[in-house]
Amino acid sequence: MNLQQLQAAFERAKLAPAVLADMAACPVGVSFILQAQGAAPQTLRLLPARAAGSEVACAASADIWAQALSARPAVGYQSFGALRREVPGFGIQGDELHWAQALPLLERLLQAMRSTDPSDPPAEQPRYFDALAHLQGRYLQLQQDPDTWAYSESCGDATQPALLMLHTAGSDARQWHGLMAQAELRQAWHMLAFDVPGHGRSPLPVGQPNWTWQLDQEQYIAWVLRYLDAMQLERVTLMGCSMGSAISLPLLARHADRFVGAVLLETPFHSPGRRSPYLNHAQVHGGRLSAAWVGALLSPNSPASGRDHATWIYSQSAPSVYDGDLAFYSDQFDARHHAANIDTQRTPLWMLTGDYDYSATPADTRRVAELIPGAQFQEMSGFGHFPMVENPDGLMPFLRAPLAALHARASQGAAP
């Protein structure tokens, strides 16, 4: 990779309307630096600084740039978020505020600048809208003091076992539409999902002031149990992702009588460092940064529409909600506090994690599984942190066997 190739890739990327929109919104200057041993670094200026000193630069060797811009980047090279965390030879110049302001443009550029493999067939685009005709929505009161309501969605066969799906930090139940669009799941399950209070279509609890959200484990557990009570459900099968998987561990450990078992996606062991003061900062566009923050965790092999859908949902979160959820996920949660109390004879447990995930890595999830006798772990090649959103069709083959086993157990009325 040389400077001319970087320049040519950038010129191609500028033809994309989304790139132009992010360039117009970016308040700082952006440059790429090509480093070579024994030679002076070369700089490609992509966007001029609007004020003196207000700029950020990404510096890497020709080999790192070539891997990051390849059609199929290796794990760790899929995003600037991953490069900064996983690749020692990658560096940034500029302060953290400017990095946060530039990150939405940088992540968009990296995707748009990538080469394509002409032999690849067009990726099948997930059909999230296929679920909409089958959904029923309602509001449920989770507690009266303070007055707390949650928006709930359901679809599938109400006579079949219930499958409760818990969304990720800073998001809402729309993340499960890709699986709710699967006809085979609608035939076998009564699928349920709700927006945690203060998320998506659920209002903040009465008395909770705007822009100061902070999720607590005990509060979250209580809301899940009260949701089951409001839905008049004695026992359900659990499916969670990320934060939804994290809260599932104490639920299984402490309330096994309410759950048949679980299939958990992207389960963290302990994930410090996921918070950022810029996710709720007056000088940073929170919607764009939230989308970029999670977009960095997606697989570059997932369909573009799946990646766009995942980031679109995050761009709509209210200020403080994402970072406030990370107070639980990144600061409070530790799988070691719960693993010893999970009995897989009572609640069978499967854990699936994508190899592009650097927030809850396959190695982290494997560590969790090793602490829980009988828990089953599988690494999913080609998936990121949000598999049910970025590639729900591709996720289905990994889900069939665990869900079939749990469906049989639920249908047979296995003793809690």
322 plus 235 within the same structural domain: yes
- The alpha carbon of residue 68 and the mean position of all alpha carbons in its chain are separated, in whole angstroms, by 21
Contacts of 402 (CB under 8 A, 6+ apart): 263, 350, 376
Bridging pattern class, strands 162-166 and 190-194: parallel
103 plus 133 within the same structural domain: no
206 plus 306 within the same structural domain: yes
Asked if residue 336 is part of any domain, the answer here is yes
Residue 137 has φ and ψ, to the nearest 5°, of -120, 150
99 plus 150 within the same structural domain: no
171 plus 292 within the same structural domain: yes
Residues 185, 162: Cα–Cα separation, whole Å: 11
Contacts of 52 (CB under 8 A, 6+ apart): none
Confidence band for 200, pLDDT divided at 50, 70 and 90: very high
186 plus 305 within the same structural domain: yes
Contacts of 415 (CB under 8 A, 6+ apart): none
Bridging pattern class, strands 55-61 and 91-93: antiparallel
pLDDT tens-digit map of 99-144:
999 999 999 999 999 987 666 667 678 899 999 999 999 999 999 9
How much is the pLDDT for 361?
97
Asked if residue 121 is part of any domain, the answer here is no
Decide if pLDDT at 69 tops 90: yes
15 plus 75 within the same structural domain: yes
CATH number assigned to the domain comprising residue 82: 3.30.1050
The helix (H) or strand (E) run that includes residue 354 is strand 349-354
Contacts of 221 (CB under 8 A, 6+ apart): 247, 250, 251, 254, 255
Asked if residue 61 is part of any domain, the answer here is yes
108 plus 251 within the same structural domain: no
Asked if residue 122 is part of any domain, the answer here is no
Token digits of residue 297: 């965790």
Question: Which of 113, 148, 168 finishes a domain?
Answer: 113
| Domain limits for position 63 | 3-113
Residue with tokens 């308040």: 27
How much is the pLDDT for 178?
98
Asked if residue 330 is part of any domain, the answer here is yes
Confidence band for 272, pLDDT divided at 50, 70 and 90: confident
Asked if residue 123 is part of any domain, the answer here is no
42 plus 159 within the same structural domain: no
Print the SS3 string covering 135-167: CEEEEEEEECCCCEEEEEEEEECCCCCEEEEEC
Question: Which of 113, 146, 174 finishes a domain?
Answer: 113
pLDDT tens-digit map of 12-24:
999 999 999 999 9
Residues 198, 212: Cα–Cα separation, whole Å: 11
Q: How many domains, the chain?
A: 2
Question: Which of 78, 113, 148 finishes a domain?
Answer: 113
202 plus 332 within the same structural domain: yes
| DSSP string for 222-267 | HHHHHHHHHTT-S-EEEEEETHHHHHHHHHHHH-GGGEEEEEEES-
Poorest-pLDDT segment among 30-34, 115-119, 221-225, 311-315: 115-119
Asked if residue 124 is part of any domain, the answer here is no
82 plus 159 within the same structural domain: no
Asked if residue 400 is part of any domain, the answer here is yes
Bridging pattern class, strands 259-265 and 236-241: parallel
How much is the pLDDT for 126?
87
How much is the pLDDT for 142?
97
Burial of residue 65, with CB atoms counted within 10 A of its CB: 0-12 exposed, 13-18 middle, 19 or more buried? buried
